[in-house]
Every structure is written in C-alpha cells, then in structure tokens.
Amino acid sequence: MDPIVARAMARWPNVPAVYGWLALDRRGNWLIRSAGVTQGFERITNHALRDFIARNYESDGAGCWYFQNGPQRVYVALAYTPLVAHYEGDSLADHCGQRFVPRAVYLDDEGSVLMEGPRAVALLDDRDLARFADSDARLERIRRAEVAGRFGFVAEPQAG
C-alpha cells in the first residue's frame, strides 16, 4: 500500500465504501463506470492511475476485492477471478505486475485456464492460451460455478 494511502486512512478512518464503480475484466484491464451511465464501463488507459490501483488492490476478510483509494475502499466487480495472469518473458505475472507462481492449474468447463497462486486464483489471459498449451502443466478440472466458492472470493461485492 502506498504511504499516502495509509496516511489518508489514518486521518479519515470512517469514509464510506464505494460499490459499482470499478471492475476488472478477463484480460486484467481496470474499468470505470462511464460518466452519466448506470451500466456502461470504460477501460482506464492512464498508466499512472492503473499502477496506483494495482499497488493498492487487496481483499477483505469476506473475499471482496477492493482498491484502497486514500481513505475510501472502492470495491471491484470481477469478470471472473481476482487476478489475471499473463506471460512476461518466460515467467508469469499478474495484472498488478507481481510475479505469479502457480501452485495448481485448472481447466474449467468453458475452456478457461485458472491458476491457484499464493495471493489468489488467477485467470490466464486468453491471449496466452496458445503459449500455455505448449507447457507440460497438469490440469485439474473445475466447474466455473464452483470457482468463487472454492477460492474464497466474491465476484460482485455489495454494500451491507
């Protein structure tokens, strides 16, 4: 967590959380609700903002993932998993830029590859599926409907 965020949390400890404004898509893109639109989201393209969100992205005790924006938690709607993994050179990294070393690899009933890591489960970016297919990874089967419960996360955090 950024030091400026920690200071803001200490200074204003009771700021209400925000829901429905930030999302993570299946390719690891941060999305923000479009101004004046209740359902539409647009991709955040500003590199500094994306990096700031990634550095301050965590989960609470209930499995809801959020971005700590100063004193305010902005809960994230997940298109699938809390993390998205992709290849950087010969190794994997998550969408937050952290190295990702899978403990187990799964294939869901929709053909998506999931990887259990030390911080959370990650969806492999679909653009890396062909490269991953050349690996010798042993895949366990899992149903998509079981993923959130098995790995302890909430895809659509709600207030209250």
Domain topology for 3-78: duf1285 like fold (3.10.540)
| pLDDT tens column, 44-84 | 999 999 999 999 999 999 999 999 988 889 999 999 999 99
How far apart CA 113 and CA 152 sit, in angstroms, is: 18
Q: CB of 106 within 8 A of CB of 80? A: no
Q: How many CA atoms within 13 Å lie on the side-chain side of 129?
A: 12
How far apart CA 157 and CA 63 sit, in angstroms, is: 9
Looking at residue 4, its pLDDT comes to 67
Region at 10 (left for phi over 0; alpha for psi -120 to 50; beta for the rest): alpha
**Residue 63 in tokens:** 């499995």
Does pLDDT of 12 surpass 60? no
Looking at residue 10, its pLDDT comes to 62
**C-alpha to C-alpha distances, 122 to 5, 35, 63, 101, 146, nearest whole angstrom:** 26, 29, 14, 10, 14
Query: What residue ranges do the domains of the chain occupy?
Result: 3-78, 83-151
How far apart CA 35 and CA 41 sit, in angstroms, is: 9
| pLDDT tens column, 94-136 | 999 999 999 999 999 999 999 999 999 999 999 999 999 988 8
**Residue 83 in tokens:** 């993390």
Chain-centre distance for alpha carbon 128 = 17
**Residue 95 in tokens:** 């969408």
Does pLDDT of 17 surpass 80? yes
Pairing of strands 57-59, 65-69: antiparallel
